[in-house]
Amino acid sequence: MKPADLIQIDRRPPLLWVTINRPLARNAVNGATAHALADAFLEFDSDPELSVAILCGAEDNFCAGADLKAVASDDPALRNPLNAGGIGPMGPSRMQLSKPVIAAIDGYCVAGGLELALWCDMRIATERAILGVFCRRFGVPLIDGGTVRLPRLIGMSRAMDMILTGRAVDASEAQAIGLVNRVVSVHNLRDSAEQLALQIAGFPQECLRNDRRSAYQQWGMNEEHAMHNEFTLGLKTLSSGETLAGAQRFEQGRGRHGEPES
């Protein structure tokens, strides 16, 4: 398979669909796929016409993690990148984008695939989705943010349960513990993900992105610094004119009571 075929890109402004296209390997990621994913999300983040990306896997699975056949290979071109900085073994896992990404999860979302889903801002899963640290059984470490993002997302106790046992977590449990945000039927996955993405893309983007940035950046700050950073980013939003424009729309009766603007 050519590098260009390892992922599928569907650019539909303001949305971008990125699909891992290795269904015979349950969409496991090798080195070439990792680079293709990283390139796709770098382009997404720099494209002014795109606001939200959706990451999914071809056919019946999201991603089974790193391709262990590539890990065991003697061919450097197949191996996943192992650098302290830059592109992660799974591709974009170390990137800090300025725009949100939604994971649309069907089937297996395990090991490095789980780490890719954790990298995303939100996760929608089908009723048959299975999530887990399946790499536990093979001695493959979580090296794409799993030991950092999973405890932050679901709490230390639940994260330790998943990290130490490598057990399977079904969609119902994943939603109950906050690992996924929505659970939908298999047939509604794409429509539900796109509907959510369009909702997010429809909001004033300067404000949304600055609030998102503050929420992520506060993890590395004490409360005083985090509050100051939130205020600084809020001032940028206010100076952009979005807030004044929004207040004027409210005065005209648009978007009140939580209803979408017509």
pLDDT digits (tens, 9 = 90+) for 171-198: 999 999 999 999 999 999 999 999 999 9
Answer whether residue 260 is part of any domain: no
- CA angle centred on 123, ends 84 and 13, rounded to 5°: 90
Answer whether residue 138 is part of any domain: yes
Average pLDDT over residues 200-218: 96
Residue 92, domain CATH:
3.90.226.10
Residue 125: what residue type?
A
Q: Are residues 193 and 118 in the same domain?
A: yes
pLDDT band for position 24 (50/70/90)? very high
Question: Residue 164: what pLDDT?
Answer: 98
Portion of the chain with pLDDT greater than 70, in percent = 93
Q: Are residues 217 and 141 in the same domain?
A: no
* Lowest mean pLDDT across 8-17, 56-65, 156-165, 230-239: 230-239
Helix axes 112-119, 146-154, angle to 10 degrees: 60
Q: Are residues 112 and 215 in the same domain?
A: no
Answer whether residue 259 is part of any domain: no
Asked if residues 115 and 89 have their Cβ atoms less than 8 Å apart, the reply is no
Q: Among the residues of 47-187, which ranges form H helices?
A: 68-71, 112-119, 146-154, 156-165, 171-176
Residue 244, domain CATH:
1.10.287.2460
Question: Residue 3: what pLDDT?
Answer: 57
User: Cis link prior to 151 (omega < 30° from 0)?
Assistant: no
Interval 36-52: pLDDT, tens: 999 999 999 999 999 99
pLDDT band for position 82 (50/70/90)? confident
pLDDT band for position 14 (50/70/90)? very high
Q: Give how far Cα 153 sits from Cα of 144, 145, 167, 222, 249, Å.
A: 15, 12, 18, 19, 35
Answer whether residue 256 is part of any domain: no
Question: For residue 182, what are the β-bridge partners?
Answer: 124
Looking at 35-166, which runs of residues are DSSP E strands? 52-57, 101-105, 108-110, 122-126, 130-132
Q: Are residues 108 and 37 in the same domain?
A: yes
Q: Are residues 13 and 126 in the same domain?
A: yes
Domain count, the chain: 2
Neighbours of 18 (CB within 10 A): 23
Question: Residue 86: what pLDDT?
Answer: 82
Neighbours of 188 (CB within 10 A): 14
Neighbours of 94 (CB within 10 A): 17
Q: Are residues 61 and 73 in the same domain?
A: yes
Answer whether residue 257 is part of any domain: no
Average pLDDT over residues 152-164: 98
Q: Are residues 83 and 106 in the same domain?
A: yes
* Lowest mean pLDDT across 11-20, 172-181, 243-252: 243-252
Residue 1 pLDDT greater than 60, yes or no: no
Q: Are residues 192 and 208 in the same domain?
A: no
Q: Are residues 103 and 209 in the same domain?
A: no
Look up the domain containing 237 and give its range.
203-250
Average pLDDT over residues 197-215: 97
